Amino acid sequence: MSEVKGLTSQQVKEQVQLGHVNVSPKPLVKTNRQIFCEHVFTLFNVYNFVIACALIYVKAWSSLFFVLIVTMNTVIHIYQDIRSRNMVARLNLIISPKTKVLRDGCIQEIDNEEIVLNDVVFLETGMQISSDCIVLDTQVEVDESLLTGEADPVLKDIGDHLLSGSFIISGACHACVEHVGMDNYATKIASEARKRKPVTSELVKTFKKVTRFTSMLVLPISICLLYQAMGIRNETLNTTIVNTSTALLGMLPIGLVLLTSVSLATSVVRLGKRKVLVQEMFSIETLSHVDVLCLDKTGTLTQGKMQVQDVYTFDTQWSHQFSLIMNSFVKGTLDNNATSLTLQDYFQGEAPYSTLRRVSFSSARKWSALELENIGTIIVGAPEIILPDFVLPTQIEEAKHQGARILLIARHHDFDTFQEDMMHSVPLAVIVILDPLREDAKETIQFFKDNDVDVKVISGDNPVTVSALASQAGIENAQNYIDASTLSTPQELEDAILNYHVIGRASPSQKHEMILCLQKHKQKVAMTGDGVNDVLALKDADVSIAMGSGSDAAKQISQFVVINGELSTMVDVVKEGRLDINNVTRSASMYYLKTIYTILISITCILLNMPYPFIPFQMTLLDNFVEGFPSFMILFEKNISKQKESIGRYTMRYSFPNAIAIVLCVIALKLLAPTLSLSLNQAFTILYYTTAILSIHMIYRIYSPINLYRTVVLIVDIVAFVLVSYITYDLLQLAPVTSLLFQYLIMTLLFGLIVSTCLSKIVVHYLDTYPQD
C-alpha cells in the first residue's frame, strides 16, 4: 500500500479547473420554485380556478368564499413542504457519505462531490462506491446487487473495475477514479443504483382512483346540468352557474390530499427533531401497517460498544507469542467492522510479524485470515465455523450463554490450502467479547409486543449468544432458537422464519430470503440493520431502518435513518406512522361523504330535472364543520392502534350509509314537495339542515366510543355551525324556518336517521362477514 501515490494539491486544482469533478447531475432537493409549481398547478386548482372565473363572471361574490379556503390550504401546503425539505436536507448533511482520498501523501476525508478524476480513493468494508474506479493494490469483494440484481458477491482483483453504486462487503483497497459525474456508470443508468425501492402508498393509490373517477364525471355531469338549467328549465345564467359550480365543487375532495401530505410532512419534521431522517415520505404510511419487525443484533439490539472481556489461551508452542501474533494480525488486517476495531483497541503492542497475504472478513464466511511471516496462517472467527467439533472450555460456554461473543484464534500451516483443510487448524486461543444490551431495548421490545408487531432477531452471530441477549431484551420465545447454518433447503428456511423468533448464523442471502418468505405469507416487514450484511434484506423489506452508526450502504438504501442510534427512537417512528394513517383514514370518511352524496345528488338532479339543491357558500360551511374542523381536531388524539381496515372499507362503513340517506332525503322531498305545498327554496332549506345533521351524525359514529374530548369537539362543532348559519343566514339564501317547516325538517331528519342506521347495520354485517384479506 505504501507504493500507491495519490494526487498532489496542484493536480487536484488542475482537475477542478478542467471540470473533472464528481458533481451530481441532478439537484438533491426540490427548489422553492418546483415546490410552488407542484402545489399551485394541480388538477384540483385548475377546476377551482375555472369555477371561480365562472362565478366572478356572473358576479356571484358570496359564492367565492371557497377560493379563500383553497388559497390558504395551498399556502400551508407549500410552507410545510419547504419546511420538510429543509429538515431532510439538514439531516442528509449529517449522514452524507464521505470518501477517503490519498492526496499529498496522506489520507483525507472529503465529500463525494469533491472527488476529481484520477483521485486515489481508499475503500473499506461498508462503503458505497461513489465513482467508477480501478483497483490498485488489494483484492476486495463487492456487492453489485443494486446494479445488476445479482446477490452473489463479486471478487475484484488488481486492475478490475469498481462500479459506482456498488459497495465493498469485504476487504479494503486503494483505487484510481476513472469516471466522475455524468460519466459514472450509476449516473448513466439514471442513478438507479442509489435509488431505494419505491414505496407503494395505499393512500395515494386510493386518492388517485377517486380523483380519476370524479374527474371523468365532472365534464358530462356539468354539461347535463347546464343544458337542463338553461335549455329545459330556462333558468338565468347566474342561477345556472351558481348551482352547477356547487355540484362540481362538492365532487372534489380537495382538502383530503392536502391533509394527507401536510400530515406526513409534519411527521417528517417531528421525526427530524428526534434525529430520524425520513428518506421516503410515504414510507411513514407503510410503517403503520407493519406486522413483523426484524432486528439485527449487533449495533441494533446491542449498544455496538464491544469490549474484550477475557482472552483464554491454549497450551501450544505459540502461547508465549500469542500477544505478538495478535498485535501483528490487527495491524495487518484491512477489516473495519466492529469486531476488528475492538481487537485493534485491545492488541496495541509491538507487531513484529509482517503480513504476506490476507482473506478479509465477510458475513458469509464468518472468519478472516492473515498469513504472517514466520508464523503461518492465523484465522480469526466463529469457533463452530473454523473447528465445528472443537469443545469450548466451560467458562467460555457460560459466557456465551450470557450473551458474549466468542472468537476462536487458530493457526494453519499453509495459506494456499487452509480454506479446504481448516479442520486441521490448531486452536491458539479464545477471545470473549462483550457487547452490552441497549438500555432502552426491553422497553422498546415491549412496546412492539403490546402493539401487534411480531419481533424477530436475525443475526449472523452464534445463536446461543443471540438467544441470551434476546431473552434479556424480552423477545418472545427467545430460548427457542435455530442455527441458520443448518438450513439447507428453501423450505427449512421458510419454516425457520415463520416459527422462530431468534435465528443465529444467518448469512446475508439468508436474511434476504427470510424477508421474502415473510412477504410471501402476506406479512408487512420492517427490517433494521447497520452493516453491509443487512443491505440485501433492507433493500427488499417493506420498511427499511438503518442505524446512524452503520455503513454507508445501509444508510443509503434505507427509508429511515435513526441518526442517534437509539432503539427507542423506532417507537417514535412507528407511532408517527400509525398516528398519520389513523388520522387520515378517519378524515377520509368525512371528506368522501360529501363526494359520494354530491355525485349521487347531481345524477338525481339530472334524472328528476331539478336544480342542484345547494349553493357554494352552503357547501363551504358544510365543508368546514363536517370535514375541516372535526378532521383537524381528531389530529390531537394520539391513536397509535394498528389500522384494521383499508381506507376504502372504512369509508364504506361510515360514509356510505349517511351519504345514501342524504340522497334519499333529496328524492323524497322532491317528490313530496308539491303535496306538502313546499316551495323549492323551502325544500332546499330542509335539505341543508338535514344534510348538516346527518353529516354530524356520521362524525358521531366515527368518534365513537365517545370520551370527554370528543364530546367537547362535537358540542363546539354543532354550536359553531348553528351560530355561523344564523349570522350568515342571508348569504346562505335559506327560507325562514316556520313552525311548519320545522316539523317537516324533523320528519325528514328522522327518515334520514332511520335509513342511515339501517344501512349502517347492513354494511357493518357485510364487512364483518367478509373481512379484509
Query: Cβ distance 99 to 115 under 8 Å?
Result: yes
Distance between CA atoms of 356 and 416, rounded to whole angstroms?
12
Whole-angstrom CA distances from 54 to 87, 245, 572 are 40, 8, 48
Distance between CA atoms of 669 and 675, rounded to whole angstroms?
10
Q: Which of 294, 343, 296, 308 is nearest to 460 (CA)?
A: 296
Give the number of other CB atoms < 10 A from CB of residue 743: 10
Residue entry with cell 443508468: 189
Classify residue 275 as left (phi > 0), alpha (psi -120 to 50) or beta.
left
Distance between CA atoms of 725 and 192, rounded to whole angstroms?
56
Give me the half-sphere count of Cα atoms (radius 13 Å) on the Cβ side of residue 507: 18
Q: Which of 336, 308, 326 is nearest to 433 (CA)?
A: 308
Give the number of other CB atoms < 10 A from CB of residue 249: 24
Asked whether the CA dihedral 17, 18, 20, 23 is positive or negative, the reply is positive
DSSP 710-772: HHHHHHHHHHHHHHHHHHTHHHHTPPP--HHHHHHHHHHHHHHHHHHHHHHHHHHHHHHHS--
Q: Which three cell numbers stand for residue 754?
A: 332511520
Length of the chain in terms of residues written: 773
- 546 phi and psi angles, rounded to 5 deg: -110, 145
Residue entry with cell 355525485: 599
Kind plus residue range of the DSSP H or E element containing 245: helix 237-251
Helix (H, G, I), strand (E, B) or coil at 623: helix
Amino acid, single-letter form, for residue 663: V
Q: Which three cell numbers stand for residue 755?
A: 335509513
Instruction: Report the catalytic residues.
Output: 296
Amino acid, single-letter form, for residue 93: L
Query: Cβ distance 459 to 504 under 8 Å?
Result: yes
Distance between CA atoms of 116 and 80, rounded to whole angstroms?
37
Query: Cβ distance 544 to 523 under 8 Å?
Result: no
* Residue 641: burial class (beta carbons within 10 Å; 0-12, 13-18, 19+): exposed
Query: Cβ distance 339 to 376 under 8 Å?
Result: no
* DSSP-assigned letter for residue 368: E
Kind plus residue range of the DSSP H or E element containing 580: helix 569-608
Whole-angstrom CA distances from 689 to 11, 93, 521, 732, 734 are 79, 55, 49, 11, 10
Q: At what angle do helices 680-703 and 708-727 cross, to 10 degrees?
A: 160
Give the number of other CB atoms < 10 A from CB of residue 759: 17
Whole-angstrom CA distances from 683 to 339, 382, 623, 697 are 79, 83, 21, 21
